[in-house]
Amino acid sequence: MSPDVHAFFDTATNTVSYVVRDPAGVSCAVIDSVLDFDYASGRTATKSADEIAEFITKNDLRTEWIIETHVHADHLSAAPYLQERLGGKIGIGDQITAIQDTFGKVFNEGTAFQRDGSQFDQLFQDGDSVMIGQMRVDVLHTPGHTPACLTYVIGDAAFVGDTLFMPDFGTARCDFPGGSAQDLYASIQRILALPDETRIFVGHDYKAPGREDFAWETTVGAQKAKNVHLAGNTPEGFVEMREARDATLAMPKLIVPSLQINMRAGNMPEPDDQGDVFLRVPINKL
């Protein structure tokens, strides 16, 4: 089974969102949508999400799922906006509770902020299967970049979020709270155990040096043969390389707003008594 996959690339955050469609019907899922956010002005916009919504509407598709591979730290999710326009259930990994616990503390959220994942319609566990029309989605828990990361395997396609990037770029960082280069290595081995011809769709692309175009689709076979962080490397060598590289990376520009919104399934914090919405900037905490 080979789902139809349509990619949407957001140049502001280098994020790839996907619409995955059952080729035998009209059912589809949206994976990792983006709500545009201009940090300087605090303004949101829906240009990226509207492109997805228009694609779905134009093709008369039925949105069954709006799913996240993880709580993103570099862009805001448009899941609630898309759900309002298109329907569908919002899902994420059940380890979201660990993320909510960690960042509930970082942002000093009060007791009104639930840490039980109840902001989402569905929490997926490793080994779960869900359907998009006639297509089965197999859920793999692939922690490392964050403790709650999932890979969705749909027929011959694997949506790996931020685990593997394109072979010439490597792998995702593991230095956010709860991240682990050892865990990422083990998770990647699970992905690479899929058949070589499995199509891999990555969550971001930053163009490797020497490459002219953005790219987001590769295969398990290509990752095994050519991934610059993995091919010819030992597990220990990978962990050492990953941790050394992570120590040089700046925080993503949108980490502060992204976490506060994405840990709420893409919803804004509750408005104040005037009806205005604010985000917090924790000082010396991230």
The edge-to-edge listing of strands for the beta sheet with 157-161 is 129-132, 135-141, 150-154, 157-161, 199-202, 217-219
Pick between residue 13 and residue 27 the one whose CB is nearest to Fe ion.
13
The Cβ of residue 9 has, within 10 Å, a number of other Cβ atoms equal to 16
Q: Report the alpha-carbon distance of residue 260 to residue 244 in Å, rounded.
A: 28
CB closer to Fe ion, 64 vs 162: 162
**Measured from the CB of residue 73, what is the shortest distance to Fe ion in angstroms?**
6
Closest CA to 201 of 171, 166, 225, 230: 166
Please identify, using beta-carbon distances, which residue of 32 and 94 lies nearer to Fe ion.
32
> How near is the Cβ of 211 to Fe ion at its closest, in Å?
21
- Pick the stretch among 12-20, 41-49, 125-133, 154-162 that binds Fe ion (CB under 5 A): 154-162
* Closer residue to Fe ion in complex, CB, 99/132: 99
Binding mask 263-282 for Fe ion (x = CB under 5 A): --------------------
Closest Cα to residue 257, out of 229, 284, 278?
278
Please answer whether residues 66 and 89 qualify as being in contact, where contact means their C-beta atoms are separated by less than 8 angstroms.
yes
Which residues inside 72-101 make contact with Fe ion, applying CB under 5 A?
72
Q: Nearest-CA neighbor of 86 among 127, 53, 117?
A: 53
Of the ranges 44-52, 126-134, 162-170, 222-230, which one interacts with Fe ion (CB under 5 A)?
162-170
Q: From 75-83, 101-109, 128-136, 157-165, give the range in contact with Fe ion by CB under 5 A.
A: 157-165
What burial class does residue 235 get, using C-beta atoms within 10 Å of its C-beta: 0-12 exposed, 13-18 middle, 19+ buried?
middle
CA distance 202 to 218: 8
Residue nearest to Fe ion (CB): 162
Q: How many residues bind Fe ion (CB under 5 A)?
A: 2
Minimum CB distance to Fe ion, residue 154 (Å): 20
CA 261 from chain centre, in angstroms, equals 14
- Residue 2 CB, shortest distance to Fe ion, in Å, is 26
Closer residue to Fe ion (CB): 157 or 172: 172
Query: Which stretch in 1-9, 26-34, 69-77, 255-263 sits in contact with Fe ion by CB under 5 A?
Result: 69-77
| Helix axis angle, 47-58 to 79-86, nearest 10° | 30
* Interface with Fe ion (CB under 5 A), residue from 162, 163, 173, 242: 162
Q: Where do contacts with Fe ion occur on this chain (CB under 5 A)?
A: 72, 162
